[in-house]
Chains A and B, each alone.
Chain A
């Protein structure tokens, strides 16, 4: 009898300790707005990816709509105005690469620069010509077509860093391929872009390139290859130092939270990524309707399976928002923004750029205002529909990338000479 009593007491004590730890851990996690993953080999010698890893990597799938208990996503109220509810804020100015960056890169990676021509010379089929430099015009909308038909949201589309004239030039070269492995060690890729120079060396990408919401697992071994083009790596590879994602993305999987920041180590030559590529700026709270440029390693760039996602595709279009939440029930609501685009998987995390300033001696403009999350998805009555030709992204604000930047101690690249 006494022995049984002692066992009951032991179990009770153990249960109490377990519950205390569980509650404490939960409370601690609820207090954190971001989750950070630190590379245990942050100070180790970077190890290059094999050409096979890069060639055989598959694009990460777009996230799928996550039904809530009500059958819809966790929807935020639709903002009263899509244009002036908040003032745009530039939290990070863009910066040019070092003037000698390409010469230094050619010295550091001579094989990559010798092969640059060969990589470009690997011709695609004539059928791909339609993708190469085509202005995709909207079809004339029939009277019966609604606001979700892509004809309402025209865009132009052309190849980006396939062209040698763009691959190693700012701002295109600030965009690159983000490689990483899943829990089965298979390699996948997304798109990411440099948003700060040293010492932070941050790139922005989509949250679903860090945490696979559908399977509830983190990816691993993130490696950034700026200006990657069909296996060509003119600036080398940059291993991650830390990866930071919103807790809300992990908990909710909403596109408005689908953003992540990755800080990078220097490359094998000891140089920071921004030295070679420069960096794009970051702007928050931009009005929902804007003329924007999207860049991403979209896998619909070629009809040849071996060339899919091997270079960037560029889309120009005008972003928009649904003020009427009956048009696309279940969409994310505030801080989710849309644009007409034919982007396919691989473009995940690709920049939505405001005020693109191509071939300019100044880095002014070139603000990242969103990253590709996936196709617009609507959900009603448990049925998910995805209108073709419309891409969704997190409209950068204090509620998403602002939180990540704050957790990183800011996304500002310090200016030399103590300049404020």
Chain B
């Protein structure tokens, strides 16, 4: 699903812009998008993240364990929707019916999703594996190029893409019921990735415009390793967390 999203975005852009490109430059519209702008946005951040929990440490070096490691490896998804609000600042430059721009934004993000699994281990392992993974995205920002087309009057449709970054926190707790060995760890930090999206913007007046935008944000992978409590401290677990989100938002811009 994650791979299909950018493809979808490109497809939308191709459909939207294709006829215009094919038609070639036409006369300038009555509204000119050129200029700096600043604005606010709000919307939903739909979490589409995934994780893998895998044994590390002595699990990988002690021959007694190695062959059974696939049985104690788990993957899962972190899904949910959260409120997002923030602001953006950018510059547009219009040439004919084409608009080129650069925009940066920074948003609060309320993503806080967890996954909980309690399942019996397959033979020859015994007992259950219980794990919980939590992910929080506190905020994110982007620095994007915009390439747009004005199909009619004050309406602009555009595609956008560039750098994305965000503060991602995660915690993991893995427990095996047979020995009560418990692996607990967390990680928090700024992570950078990429974003791709599309949107439409309508100039309400010569100064104010309203926009609707979709962004696919991939903040990359983060891995963190954590050991068990004594006496199993040479045994550890690693969480590989892939943070991806779909952001759908509306906003207002003021051109100056």
A-B interaction:
yes
Of A40-48, A229-237, A267-275, the one with at least 4 CB within 8 A of chain B: A267-275
Give the number of residue pairs across the A-B interface with Cβ within 8 Å.
70
Q: A415 interface residue, CB < 8 Å from B?
A: yes
Q: A199-B180, A414-B179 are in contact. Are A419 and B68 (CB under 8 A)?
A: yes
Interface residues of B in 54-80 (CB under 8 A from A): 55, 59, 64-65, 68, 71-72
Of A97-105, A217-225, A308-316, the one with at least 4 CB within 8 A of chain B: A97-105
Q: How far is the CB of A373 from chain B (nearest CB, A)?
A: 30
Q: When chains A and B are docked, how far (Å) is the Cα of A392 from the Cα of B55?
A: 47
Q: When chains A and B are docked, how far (Å) is the Cα of A99 from the Cα of B233?
A: 9
Contact B231 A275 (CB under 8 A): yes
Contact A419 B228 (CB under 8 A): no
Interface residues of B in 116-150 (CB under 8 A from A): 121, 124-129
Q: How far is the CB of B128 from chain A (nearest CB, A)?
A: 8
Residues of B within 8 A of A275 (CB): 230-231
Q: When chains A and B are docked, how far (Å) is the Cα of A418 from the Cα of B234?
A: 15
Contact B68 A417 (CB under 8 A): yes
Q: B240 interface residue, CB < 8 Å from A?
A: no
Contact A416 B179 (CB under 8 A): yes
Contact B124 A416 (CB under 8 A): no
Q: B181 interface residue, CB < 8 Å from A?
A: yes
Q: When chains A and B are docked, how far (Å) is the Cα of A197 from the Cα of B235?
A: 15
B231 in complex: contacting residue of A198, A418, A419, A420, CB < 8 Å: A198
Residues of A within 8 A of B128 (CB): 418
Contact A416 B181 (CB under 8 A): yes
A272 in complex: contacting residue of B65, B121, B231, CB < 8 Å: B231
Contact A416 B228 (CB under 8 A): yes
B65 in complex: contacting residue of A97, A98, A100, A417, CB < 8 Å: A417
Contact B180 A418 (CB under 8 A): no
Contact A98 B178 (CB under 8 A): no
Q: B155 interface residue, CB < 8 Å from A?
A: no
Q: A95 interface residue, CB < 8 Å from B?
A: yes
Contact B232 A416 (CB under 8 A): yes
Residues of A within 8 A of B64 (CB): 415, 419
Residues of A within 8 A of B178 (CB): 414-415, 418-420
Q: When chains A and B are docked, how far (Å) is the Cα of A271 from the Cα of B59?
A: 23
Contact B65 A420 (CB under 8 A): no
Contact B230 A416 (CB under 8 A): no
Residues of B within 8 A of A420 (CB): 124-126, 178
Q: How far is the CB of A331 from chain B (nearest CB, A)?
A: 40
Q: When chains A and B are docked, how far (Å) is the Cα of A76 from the Cα of B104?
A: 89
Q: When chains A and B are docked, how far (Å) is the Cα of A197 from the Cα of B59?
A: 19
Q: B176 interface residue, CB < 8 Å from A?
A: yes
Residues of B within 8 A of A416 (CB): 176, 179, 181, 228, 232, 235
Interface residues of A in 343-385 (CB under 8 A from B): none
Task: Classify the interface of chain B: helix, strand, loop or mixed.
Answer: loop
Contact A98 B126 (CB under 8 A): no
Interface string of A230-273 (1 = CB under 8 A from B): 00000000000000000000000000000000000000000110
Contact A417 B180 (CB under 8 A): no
Q: How far is the CB of A310 from chain B (nearest CB, A)?
A: 28
Q: Which B residue's beta carbon lies closest to that of A198?
A: B231
Q: When chains A and B are docked, how far (Å) is the Cα of A311 from the Cα of B44?
A: 70
Residues of B within 8 A of A97 (CB): 231
Contact B230 A98 (CB under 8 A): yes
Q: When chains A and B are docked, how far (Å) is the Cα of A199 from the Cα of B178?
A: 10
Q: Which B residue's beta carbon lies closest to that of A279?
A: B231
Q: A416-B179, A416-B181 are in contact. Are A99 and B234 (CB under 8 A)?
A: yes
Contact A417 B176 (CB under 8 A): yes
Q: When chains A and B are docked, how far (Å) is the Cα of A271 from the Cα of B55?
A: 24
B233 in complex: contacting residue of A98, A414, A417, A418, CB < 8 Å: A98
Q: A419-B64, A419-B68 are in contact. Are A414 and B234 (CB under 8 A)?
A: no
Contact A417 B231 (CB under 8 A): no
Contact B234 A417 (CB under 8 A): no
Interface residues of B in 192-244 (CB under 8 A from A): 228, 230-235
Q: How far is the CB of B117 from chain A (nearest CB, A)?
A: 14
Q: When chains A and B are docked, how far (Å) is the Cα of A420 from the Cα of B121?
A: 11
Contact A100 B233 (CB under 8 A): yes
Residues of B within 8 A of A271 (CB): 230
Contact A418 B121 (CB under 8 A): yes
Q: When chains A and B are docked, how far (Å) is the Cα of A372 from the Cα of B176?
A: 37
Q: Which A residue's beta carbon lies closest to that of B59?
A: A417
Interface string of A271-294 (1 = CB under 8 A from B): 110110010000000000000000
Q: How far is the CB of A239 from chain B (nearest CB, A)?
A: 19
Interface residues of A in 135-175 (CB under 8 A from B): none
Contact A417 B124 (CB under 8 A): no
A274 in complex: contacting residue of B55, B65, B129, B231, CB < 8 Å: B231
Interface residues of B in 10-48 (CB under 8 A from A): none
Q: When chains A and B are docked, how far (Å) is the Cα of A419 from the Cα of B126?
A: 6
Q: When chains A and B are docked, how far (Å) is the Cα of A158 from the Cα of B19?
A: 96
Residues of A within 8 A of B124 (CB): 420
Q: Which B residue's beta carbon lies closest to that of A274?
A: B231
Q: A420-B124, A420-B126 are in contact. Are A415 and B230 (CB under 8 A)?
A: no
A418 in complex: contacting residue of B129, B228, B230, B232, CB < 8 Å: B129
Q: Which A residue's beta carbon lies closest to that of B127?
A: A418
Contact A272 B127 (CB under 8 A): no
Contact A417 B230 (CB under 8 A): no
Contact A419 B230 (CB under 8 A): no
Residues of B within 8 A of A419 (CB): 64-65, 68, 125-126, 178-179
Q: Given A272-B230, A419-B179, 11 other A-B contacts at CB below 8 A? A: A99-B233, A275-B231, A278-B231, A414-B179, A415-B178, A417-B59, A417-B68, A417-B176, A418-B128, A418-B178, A419-B64
Chain A interface (Cβ < 8 Å from any Cβ of B): 95, 97-101, 197-199, 271-272, 274-275, 278, 413-420
